[in-house]
């Protein structure tokens, strides 16, 4: 399937893409947390930020930014630490808000939506390893002799985004449903948010200490 468009082993790619999307990461955790804490609409705003960020990284990978990062270690290190710092900030903020009293002023839905979208977009864009991953993963399924390599690249990117949309939709809806079940227990909500924030801090540490 899609072999005539320069795509190799399409179904093997689909299986690999599914497993990749299912791996837990800061993007999916942020979407889950947003769906649980702020509802389905805000969850999809977070998912939109992730989609756009991923699309930008995929385009950068195609444009050769990954090669620049690989050949310029200082640039890669800078982006990696910026991503780690943002994850650390986000994780600390989540843990802090979990035990903060809820007496602060109400934020309008529009402003809240902008903040959610911005956080998700930054979270997605500050993942330099994603660019390297997209290059190393996509290239295995692209026929380099095909006249227009951008076509198979676009097909593979679209498939990955569709799989991601389905998975994030499940997280958003399931998160909102779980919240309805435990809404009466503020203690459970605080523990859940604290654990979520701790996971973000763990992702920050892993990104900062990784060498690739």
Residue 209 banded pLDDT, cuts 50, 70, 90 = confident
Look at residue 211 in the predicted model and tell me its pLDDT.
57
Residue with tokens 């902008």: 114
pLDDT > 90: what percent of the chain? 6
Which tens digit of pLDDT belongs to each residue from 112-145?
Answer: 678 888 888 888 887 766 766 776 677 778 887 7
Question: Which 3 state secondary structure label does DSSP give 7?
Answer: strand
**What does the angle CA 124 – CA 120 – CA 91 come to, to the nearest 5 degrees?**
95
What is the average pLDDT score of the chain? Answer: 76
Measured CA to CA in angstroms, residue 58 lies from 30, 137, 157, 200, 202 at distances of 20, 11, 7, 23, 25
Tell me the mean pLDDT in the region 74-83: 71
Cβ neighbours of residue 93 closer than 8 Å, sequence gap 6 or more: 197
Across 44-53, 130-139, 183-192, least confident range: 183-192
């Amino acid at each position: 399937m899609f072999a005539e468009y320069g795509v190799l082993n399409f179904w093997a790619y689909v299986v690999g893409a599914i497993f990749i999307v299912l791996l837990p990461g800061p993007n999916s955790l942020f979407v889950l947390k947003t769906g649980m804490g702020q509802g389905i609409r805000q969850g999809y705003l977070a998912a939109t930020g992730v989609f756009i960020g991923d699309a930008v990284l995929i385009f950068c990978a195609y444009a050769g930014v990954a090669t620049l990062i690989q050949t310029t270690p200082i640039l890669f290190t800078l982006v990696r630490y910026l991503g780690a710092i943002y994850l650390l900030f986000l994780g600390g903020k989540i843990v802090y808000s979990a035990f903060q009293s809820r007496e602060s002023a109400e934020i309008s839905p529009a402003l809240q939506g902008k903040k959610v979208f911005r956080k998700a977009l930054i979270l997605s864009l500050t993942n330099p390893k994603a660019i390297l991953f997209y290059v190393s993963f996509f290239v295995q399924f692209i026929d380099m002799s095909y006249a227009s390599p951008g076509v198979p690249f676009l097909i593979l990117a679209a498939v990955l985004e569709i799989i991601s949309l389905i998975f994030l939709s499940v997280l958003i809806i399931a998160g909102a449903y779980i919240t309805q079940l435990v809404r009466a227990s503020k203690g459970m909500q605080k523990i859940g948010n604290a654990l979520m924030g701790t996971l973000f801090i763990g992702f920050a540490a892993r990104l900062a200490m990784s060498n690739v």
